Structure 1
């Protein structure tokens, strides 16, 4: 029997959940049927791999979802070294494991979309890519996760087509 979920109270939240679900499905569909060797193969001049993209998207979504709740403390462990490790499978990691982690992250984010105050804001941490003193609402965080997922699903589609000619769409 499927686990009960919190009802979605309004159209905006339903739209966010549907859009997140759609782009996540594109990304998961793109890596369907791959071995770990295929999923970690570089198929373009880029260093990107399909497994690395899924791992990165899961890590990014988890961090931003945490930010929606805790604010800038969510970025406390974000270093260039940690970020670089998001893109590669470590020894013992598998595509199946990365996809399972992504499912856990997605379920947690979906619950937050259903329940957090979308107008709640937090200051962004200091970083060269953020305007000093800027804030983000939970709403904007979830929109960012949609954009990040969609962008990387497109990257993954190119890598998959380069690998074996398969396409997510078309």
Structure 2
């Protein structure tokens, strides 16, 4: 398997893992802040959509024909967290649809270019000269981090855990007893 194919498979896996965390939840459950900084499941998805577009679009001189759902650059001037939540006018299903459309656009960039194709990330300043290969690794790492956030948030909502399907990568153990054992251990300190 070529290195580009390997990287694309990891990118695809992270995307699927992130979106799987939304399955079966209500609009309210997807929007509800779950951390002290307001992190919520649909906000993570909206953020990842904008991240992918920025890195696989303008970085390589490409723009999407229909920017619906993407946050315009000047919107961050008024609200620096604007890509971390669904507005009242947006639906969670609409954000997911837009993200999948942006993913297809990003996949076109990846298909069109070689791993050593040059690009420029303007917000990286003097370190902004990049290759497609570097951006693929960067975005995979970023998506993996956010998919991990989504794992924890989803577990807080309804206890659902697993990498790509409920329980798919966990041992079959008594988790309440396990948590009690870890709590007892922690209480010793």
Gaps of 5+ in 1: 1-9
Aligned counterpart, 1:29:
20
> Which of residues 28, 31, 35 is equivalent to 1:44?
35
SS of the residue 2:33 aligns to: coil
Residue equivalent to 1:135: 129
- Provide the rounded CA distance (Å) in 2 between the counterparts of 1:87 and 1:120: 30
Does structure 1 residue 84 correspond to structure 2 residue 78? no
Deviation track 1:58-112 (CA, whole Å, cap 9, x = no partner) reads 11101111134218xxxx9264546511001112211111111111111111122
State the Cα distance separating 1:161 from its structure 2 match: 0.5
Is the 8 Å Cα contact of residues 26 and 168 (structure 1) preserved in structure 2?
no
1:96-155 Cα shifts (integer Å, max 9, x gaps) = 111111111111111221221321223432x5xx46254111111121111111110000
Inter-CA distance 90–24: structure 2 relative to 1 (3 Å threshold): same
Q: 1:83 to 1:113 in 2, by over 3 A?
A: farther
1:11–1:133 distance in 2 versus 1, CA, 3 Å:
closer
Runs of 4+ in structure 1 over 3 Å off:
78-83
> Which of 50, 54, 70 matches 2:45?
54
Match of 1:117 in 2: 114
> Whose radius of gyration is greater, 1 or 2?
2
Show the counterpart of 1:3. Answer: none
TM-score normalized by the length of structure 1: 0.81
Matched, 1:151 2:145: yes
Partner of 2:166: none
Q: Cα RMSD between the aligned structures?
A: 2.1
Structure 2: unaligned runs, 5 residues or longer: 63-71, 164-169, 171-189
Q: CA deviation at 1:23?
A: 0.6
1:95 correspondence with 2:92: yes
* Mapped pair 1:161 → 2:155: yes
Give the TM-score normalised by structure 2: 0.73
Query: Could you tell me whether the CA contact under 8 Å between 1:56 and 1:87 is conserved in 2?
Result: yes
